[in-house]
């Protein structure tokens, strides 16, 4: 699948040419690959990728089914706002939405070095490599959320040297696309380890801020009316696509990384 076996044979062959005189007549002539062989190879690769997609879909499903709903958040504070008592809704609906991209690396132990070196592209190092420790397979694929994601909590906004009263808000995030990057380590000893390299928000469409009025008593109602969202709802779209866009994107990426890394660590023996 990764075609590194052919590359390894080619490297050995070139090294022999560089260190020994090779007679042209001694080089074996191989028959050209026929169209049928190419077609069979492509079909085999397609079947392998389809099967890998099924495995990853199953892994995503098993991780999200154990996720808390809503997901409680730690207090968030930055230059523009603070959010306490945060809850995130909708992560259970995550699904894979694009083909899988793969890359392959090898881990080797140099004879004069006691630690692994993954830089297999240096010619002088390749000649010194001694023991293969394992392989690293990097996965990259998209995750989408069919339904909206909602972030709820108590928010206080800081704007133009003014601190607005905390108010209960509902932030709706729609049309989200996430790039998930995972690394699978296959050791020669048979040990397998999977971890998350990163969760990047590639697309974040409509963002809508809405105050959630609490009318249990006059004090709460007055407090909400003095909040930024209650007074300036028309500015919410500008905020979402302006100064608050990057903080919200960073918060969402951090939450996804922490949540999925913790769940993957917990459920990895079952996966």
* pLDDT score of 225 more than 80: no
Q: Tell me, what's the pLDDT at 83?
A: 87
What's the structural domain count of the chain? 1
More confident residue, 21 or 198: 198
By mean pLDDT, which of 39-48, 88-97, 122-131, 173-182 is the weakest?
122-131
Whole-number Å distance between alpha carbons of 219 and 164: 15
Which residues make Cβ contacts (< 8 Å) with residue 54, sequence separation at least 6?
none
Please report, for the domain that includes residue 153, its CATH number: 3.15.10.50
pLDDT of 2: 43
C-alpha span between 263 and 63 (Å, rounded): 6
Q: Which domain holds residue 241?
A: 4-267
Whether the predicted model's global pTM rises above the 0.75 cut:
no
Round the average pLDDT of the chain to a whole number and report it. Answer: 74
State the pLDDT at residue 10.
33
Q: How far is CA 236 from CA 199, 213, 241, 242, in A?
A: 26, 16, 9, 10
| Among 80-84, 106-110, 143-147, 193-197, the least confident range | 106-110
């Amino acid at each position: 699948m990764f075609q590194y076996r052919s590359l390894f044979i080619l490297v050995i062959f070139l090294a022999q040419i560089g260190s020994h005189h090779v007679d042209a007549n001694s080089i074996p002539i191989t028959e050209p690959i026929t169209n049928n062989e190419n077609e069979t190879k492509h079909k085999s690769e397609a079947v392998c990728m389809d099967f890998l997609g099924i495995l990853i879909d199953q892994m995503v499903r098993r991780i999200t089914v154990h996720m808390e709903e809503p997901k409680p958040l730690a207090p968030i504070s930055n230059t523009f706002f603070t959010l306490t008592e945060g809850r995130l809704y909708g992560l259970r609906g995550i699904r894979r939405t694009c083909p899988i991209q793969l890359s392959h690396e090898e881990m080797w132990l140099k004879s004069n070095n006691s630690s692994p070196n993954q830089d297999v592209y240096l010619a002088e190092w390749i000649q010194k490599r001694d023991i293969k420790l394992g392989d690293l397979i990097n996965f990259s694929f998209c995750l989408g959320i069919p339904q909206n994601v909602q972030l709820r909590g108590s928010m206080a906004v800081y704007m133009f040297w003014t601190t607005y009263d905390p108010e209960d808000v509902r932030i709706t995030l729609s049309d989200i696309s996430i790039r998930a990057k995972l690394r699978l380590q296959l050791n020669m000893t048979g040990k397998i380890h999977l971890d998350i390299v990163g969760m990047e928000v590639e697309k974040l469409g409509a963002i809508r801020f809405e105050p959630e009025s609490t009318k249990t008593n006059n004090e709460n109602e007055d407090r909400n009316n003095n909040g930024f969202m209650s007074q300036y709802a028309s500015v919410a779209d500008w905020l979402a696509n302006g100064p608050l866009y990057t903080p919200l994107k960073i918060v969402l990426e951090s939450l996804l990384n922490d949540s999925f890394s913790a769940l993957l660590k917990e459920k990895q023996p079952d996966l």
